[in-house]
Amino acid sequence: MTSITLELANLISDKALEKAQAMGFQPQTVAILDIGGQIKVIKRSDGASILRPEIAVGKAWGVLGMGFGGRDLARRAEVAPAFFNALMAMSNGRMVPVAGGALIRNSNKEIIGSIGISGDTSDNDEICAVAGVEAAGLIADTGA
């Protein structure tokens, strides 16, 4: 299994931020993690608030750690809050189980990294994440 390249991570993040600007969304922060959960890229729009990088990384880290998209994480967190509280404790609070986090899959459907976006509503964050990943010719697995 391969991991996302810096070139792809930059392309995805740039396209996601372009989508946010084109749609008139609030300033966004994009985090892309490699297959090992390490930060590949973090980019902040001008005017993005100071907690956005941590939220974006939390969205990306949570989906990668559990192996399914942010929408699925959110659904599961609603029905099993005790389990997700335990996950939060085990991960030192690094999980943000909401929309706006997606697995990045290659054409063989292998996970090569993840993306998390924060800045607007979670639904709008997800729109930008999907746009960025698809612009790179990859698959955004949001858990929808």
Number of folded domains that form the chain: 1
CA distance linking residue 18 with residue 134, whole number of Å: 13
Instruction: For the chain, give the percent of residues with pLDDT over 70.
Output: 99
37-41 long-range contacts (CB < 8 A, ≥24 apart) are 37/61, 37/64, 37/65, 40/4, 40/6, 40/9, 40/113, 41/6, 41/9, 41/10, 41/12, 41/13
52 to 24, 30, 57, 109: CA distances (angstroms): 18, 9, 9, 29
Helix (H, G, I), strand (E, B) or coil at 97: coil
What is the phi/psi pair of residue 116, to 5°?
-135, 140
What's the average model confidence in pLDDT over 56-70?
A: 93
Going by C-alpha positions, the residue among 7, 105, 123 that lies closest to residue 115 is 105
CA distances from 6 to 22, 34, 36, 121 (A): 24, 9, 14, 27
Tell me whether residue 91 is in a domain: yes
What is the pairing mode between strands 139-141 and 111-118? unpaired
Residue 1 forms part of a structural domain? no
Confidence of residue 53 (pLDDT cuts 50, 70, 90): very high
Average pLDDT on 49-68 reads 94
What is the domain extent for residue 16? 6-141
Residue 136: what pLDDT?
Answer: 96
In this prediction, residues 50-71 reach a mean pLDDT of 93
pLDDT per residue as tens digits for the range 76-129: 888 988 888 888 888 887 888 888 999 999 999 999 999 999 999 999 999 999
| Domain CATH number, residue 73 | 3.30.450.150
Amino acid occupying residue 22: A
